[in-house]
Amino acid sequence: MRTIHTYQLEKSEDFKLKLLNWSQQFSEVVWMDSNTYNQKYSSYDAVLAVDAFTSIQTDYHDAFGRLKEYQSTTKDWLFGYLSYDLKNDVEDLQSNNFDGLQFPELCFFQPKKLFFLKENRLEVHYLNLVDDEREKDIQDIKSTDLEIGNYPSKPIKIKLRIHKDEYFSKVETMLAHIHRGDIYEANFCQEFYAETSKINPLTTYQKLNDISQPPFATFLKLQDKYLLSASPERYLKKQGNKIISQPIKGTARRSIDSNEDDNLREALSKNEKERSENIMIVDLVRNDLSKTATKGSVQVEELCKVYTFPQVHQMISTISSEIEVDTHPVDVIKSTFPMGSMTGAPKVSAMKIIEELEETKRGLYSGAVGYFAPNGDFDFNVVIRSILYNETNQYVSYSVGGAITAKSDPLSEYEECLVKAKAMREVLEN
């Protein structure tokens, strides 16, 4: 059981920084920040979960079955992640590419302490066994320094797992699959990495978040494993009996010249290639949602709407459905996983080709981070625009990708990857 208390805050932005700094004493941390991005389906401005009371950690073997049992028996707030390689639990697939990060394939925990921020209101949910620590924690948070200490580290030298010529060759191979009719579209990703490198995870996350200010930013810490995410994309949300998916397909750079920036945004909205790849994924998501939807309830609420973020313009669609009251939340996730925007169409064929052509096991990249509420509602992002860090192995990684369709030009795809990678590279190299 949890005890719930509310507080009024004077400066919520300062409190957010203090709260995140204070959280670093714990081995398990999930911080999710909407950056006050007013979005139709936002529930909170920011959420913090710390300190595991119970947890589950597993590879892909019966991962969704084990998560379903854990969620059903706990019936409490659960925070954690689903890695891309849980595809191997859903379909007869494998993940044999190089993995420098070594993250577990699924990890969730039941936090002892929870903080929900909405405007100037703080709601605190503590398990009863630690509720006597609450007032001291609040005082400690308020007295926490806003500044984050930096420990010395060598400049990070980023390496490419796939070099430019090889990238072109692999895209041409994927285009051959498309022209042969094996697939219509596939998301092809490449890794940028650094070995024997040490970073300050919290400082790195805050720099990345300051640059990007996305609606699904996440700082995740599980012992020595870190995710520093500037994700702009929602994977899936359950709100009562309603399911919402918001895939992103279509990216354009920003410009400091306002007229040029408006033109770039307008050009993206009318770009035939970008619209076609978005619409293909919308069809895939509609099909995935229909597996659990009540008859006739799948709807496209927004199609190819362009949203503007500090680094890029993005084309986003919103698809929703209704489910029966007795449909298990984990079954909804399993029937749509991995998300269409990071796979392709047809999904299984695309994932097989992705595995052949990519050089790195995706792991948490292009998976999802989020939470389950006690009533079975959930909300998960898509892990993109993210830095992953194994502190013990001193291995830093970020991956970027794009949708390859029949109209794709290898050079344009490569340049789009560099646009998406810009913020991560800037944060790590400077």
Positions marked active-site: 233, 249
Closest residue by Cα to residue 301 from 280, 286, 284 = 286
Cα separation, 13 vs 35, whole angstroms: 10
The answer to whether 342 and 187 have CB atoms below 8 angstroms apart is yes
Whether the CA torsion 208, 151, 370, 84 is positive or negative: it is: positive
Amino acid at 173: T
Burial class for 123, CB neighbours closer than 10 Å (0-12, 13-18, 19+): middle
Contact partners, residue 366, CB within 8 Å, separation at least 6: 84, 187, 189, 338, 339, 342, 382, 383, 384, 399, 401
Give buried/exposed letters for 184-211 (b at 16+ CB in 10 A, else e): bbbbbbbbbbbeebebbbbbbbbbbbeb
Tell the burial category of 53 from Cβ atoms under 10 Å away from its Cβ (0-12, 13-18, 19+): middle
Q: Say if residues 316 and 302 touch (Cβ distance below 8 Å).
A: yes
Question: CA 329 to CA 297: how far, in whole Å?
Answer: 17
Q: Could you tell me if 233 and 216 are in contact, meaning their C-beta atoms sit under 8 angstroms apart?
A: yes
Q: In the numeric block, which tokens belong to residue 380?
A: 């998960």
How far is Cα 377 from Cα 103, in angstroms, rounded to an integer?
A: 26
- Containing 238, the helix (H) or strand (E) segment is strand 234-239
